[in-house]
Amino acid sequence: MNTSIGFGTVSPFSGAGAFDKKFSGFFNSKSSSAKSMFDPLSLGLGAVSAGFNFLSGQNQAATSANIAQAQLAAQNAAILEGREQAKGALGSAMFGPLFAAGAGGDVAFGREKAASMFKTGPLAERERAQELDFRRGLGGLEGSVASVEQQQRENKEALKRSLVEREAAMAGMLGKIAPREVGTYFV
């Protein structure tokens, strides 16, 4: 028995000769099947490809994790924004009644007071001045010659009407009366 270790020799195991013949060319670089299977260039390219695939898988996992983190951050931001809007709406709803009960009443009172002071102060003085100017204008018109003549004509017409009514009443009782000149009744 040959006890040397090698693939080209016979091993002490039974049936080893068949094993040796079958796989002896597997590791021998002269065999054509070994070139196609374990060529150093192919083996290197395969290792590099496996490494890139491994790294690419890690990059894809990292990208997926980043996308998931971004989505969670966006959801959290939306939730926080909704909370802030709800707080703002609550604050707006509470502001009106609280302001009216507190400082709002004082502000409203101050405004009403200022308006009242304006009505009795400068506004009242201006209205009185306008009324005085209006009355002066009327007084000037009432004292004019044309105004006096107009008033006299109206008085004569009123006197004529009242005399006509009285003469009609007397004519009904006593009969027809001679006409009179009304212009002689005025000076």
The pLDDT of residue 1 is above 50: no
pLDDT tens profile 49-79: 877 777 677 777 778 888 999 999 999 999 9
Is the model more confident about 50 or about 183? 50
The pLDDT of residue 11 is above 70: no
Q: Which runs of consecutive H residues, i.e. helices, occur in the chain?
A: 16-23, 32-38, 40-101, 103-120, 122-142, 145-174
Which sequence spans correspond to the domains of the chain?
Answer: 49-105, 121-185
pTM: 0.27
> Is residue 47 within 8 Å of residue 39, measured between CB atoms?
no
